Chains A and B, each alone.
Chain A
Amino acid sequence: MVEIESLKKWIELYGEKVTENKEHLNQLDSDIGDGDHGSNLTRGAAAVKEKVSESEYENLSDFFKDIGMTLVSKVGGASGPLYGSAFISMAKQAKESDDLAVLLEAGLDGIQKRGKAEAGEKTMVDEWIPVVEALKENNLTNKVIEDSLQKTKDMKATKGRASYLGDRSIGHIDPGAQSSAYLFESLLEAGVLNG
């Protein structure tokens, strides 16, 4: 069972990480996309921080829903609806469960329903799938997060803008997987799992 206070800390840490690494995310995105992933997420993170810090939450569902709707309206591009769908899907699941593995699995489901990506297509899903699996087995570590991220390097993109590059997308880390890795690193740092 998770506490809203530690989740707030998680989301705050995530925002900080994204903001600190804005240029890195932009660069990864310039390599195989349109170069604005870091800027877009930084804008979204600032809006989420403002929204979440000024609100009191009585339940998890409202908390996730606020995050999702804020990301959807502020981030834009493809990552806005994808991250937004993850949190909105978690909001729906939070009405029935407060188990983090179950919630994040619902989040993954939301991303896949929206973006129609399967494993191995060089997308954020390639970070989410192994993390959700590890969470279910209670052994999410930074190594799981980092290894999954590095694996996207050798994949060929078949979804999103990077897919037009075909083989030329190989050799680059997927920017969506990188920003997802920050999300899960923050989860460990915030101590949500210890709560």
Chain B
Amino acid sequence: MTMKKIMNNPDQIVDEMLDGMAFAYDSIVERIPETKVIHRKHEKNGKVGLVSGGGSGHEPAHAGFVGKGMLSSAVAGQVFTSPTPDQVLEGIKAADEGEGVFLVIKNYTGDVLNFDMAKDLAELEDIEVESVVVDDDIAVEDSTFTAGKRGVAGTVLVHKILGAAAEEGYSLKELKELADKVIANLASIGLALKPATNPEVGKPGFELAADEIEFGIGIHGEPGYRREKLQPSKDLAAELVNQLKKEQNWSAGDSYALLVNGMGATPLMEQFVFMNDVKKLLSEKEGLELSFRKVGDYMTSIDMAGVSVTLLKLEDPKWIEYLNAPVDVIGW
């Protein structure tokens, strides 16, 4: 099967994407010349800088969350490949306003190693750096015998809450404490209807029969935990909600933020239908207080069809304020 994509040379796809994005939204962001860094135009005012990034193919993550109230800069790697430390260092330097820089890293071995190394390089340049690793994907078991749970759509809620806190003037240390608390209350799980095709590879990352879906899929096409025949939205929602319930152990009346995230090739119509089913289960059946809701493409996997559900237990009512705080970014 021939790959069908709007592109030129796959080697140039990330560069061309960054240029197109920076041109379209030049009031919000700019591309730092000769780098893969998208940086916000918002005036520096002595706050802690917030930097994230990772492989490309997850748009709008992460550059779509750069701007006032969220990320200071985002660093793009090749498709599904971590950016290198020299690039992350450029992102850190651009973000530095004199109060240090905080890194939000998704839990993949490559990302963690490259960002850690960038942290060391930044410290050599006298920029103080702290970081947190997001590992919200409950489809993968967390154990000392694996590289741990993966970082997926919940990362976007971390960007939002930390971005608002940084804007409010949190110190590097306070941001670290907040990030640890948020991540401890965060869980996501997804499903796929169709695999993604990486433009640099040219064929789908895995195979799914026409009538099959896979639960627990990762955002790079990592295998999930079970394949089944396609079923109505309400049954798919019930499976994901059950997994989240096992993890989060909630009680009726608990307050949660809910994100239904499209994987890239899922029409909004289907995402809203899915949201409606998730709402019935969580709010009507389980009695949860869904104090913050969001639907749409936030952490995609190129052209994968599917959805993920992220739940954040709102331990601190302040987090709702942070989630609702105004931002000037492309993708929130």
Interface contact B113-A73, CB-CB below 8 Å: no
Cβ of A162 to closest chain B Cβ, rounded Å: 9
Interface contact B147-A161, CB-CB below 8 Å: yes
- The one of B81, B116, B146 that contacts A81, using a Cβ cutoff of 8 Å: B116
- Select from chain B the residue with minimum beta-carbon distance to A82: B113
Chain A residues with CB below 8 A from B117, complex form: 72, 81, 84-85, 114
> A79 CA to B121 CA in the complex, in Å?
17
Interface contact A114-B116, CB-CB below 8 Å: yes
Chain A residues with CB below 8 A from B78, complex form: 76
Give the residues from 14 to 28 in chain A that come closer than 8 angstroms, CB to CB, to chain B: none
- The one of A74, A84, A85, A159 that contacts B109, using a Cβ cutoff of 8 Å: A159
Chain B residues with CB below 8 A from A159, complex form: 109, 147
- Select from chain A the residue with minimum beta-carbon distance to B144: A158
Best-buried of A74, A77, A80, A158 by chain B (most CB within 10 Å): A77
A150 at interface, CB cutoff 8 A: no
Residue interface mask A84-117, B partner, CB < 8 A = 1: 1100000000000000000000000000001100
B114 at interface, CB cutoff 8 A: yes
Chain A residues with CB below 8 A from B113, complex form: 78, 80-82, 114-115
> A72 CA to B121 CA in the complex, in Å?
11
A163 at interface, CB cutoff 8 A: yes
- The one of B82, B83, B86, B147 that contacts A163, using a Cβ cutoff of 8 Å: B147
Interface contact A78-B110, CB-CB below 8 Å: yes
* Number of B interface residues in the complex (CB < 8 A): 22
Interface contact B145-A72, CB-CB below 8 Å: no
Looking at chain A's contact residues, is the secondary structure mostly helix, strand, loop, or mixed? helix
Give the residues from 44 to 90 in chain A that come closer than 8 angstroms, CB to CB, to chain B: 69, 72-78, 80-82, 84-85
- Select from chain A the residue with minimum beta-carbon distance to B83: A76
Interface contact A76-B110, CB-CB below 8 Å: yes
- Select from chain B the residue with minimum beta-carbon distance to A81: B113
A160 at interface, CB cutoff 8 A: yes
With known contacts A114-B116, A160-B109, A160-B147, A76–B222 Cβ distance under 8 A: no
Residue interface mask B126-140, A partner, CB < 8 A = 1: 000000000000001
Interface contact A74-B84, CB-CB below 8 Å: yes
Chain A residues with CB below 8 A from B49, complex form: none
Interface contact B84-A73, CB-CB below 8 Å: yes
> A123 CA to B147 CA in the complex, in Å?
13
Chain A residues with CB below 8 A from B81, complex form: 36, 76-77
- Select from chain A the residue with minimum beta-carbon distance to B115: A81
> A52 CA to B222 CA in the complex, in Å?
38
Chain B residues with CB below 8 A from A161, complex form: 108-109, 147
Cβ of B113 to closest chain A Cβ, rounded Å: 4
Best-buried of A72, A81, A158 by chain B (most CB within 10 Å): A81
Chain B residues with CB below 8 A from A80, complex form: 84-85, 113-114
- Select from chain B the residue with minimum beta-carbon distance to A160: B109
9 contacts across the A-B interface (CB closer than 8 A) = A36-B81, A78-B82, A80-B84, A81-B85, A85-B117, A158-B144, A164-B140, A164-B146, A164-B222
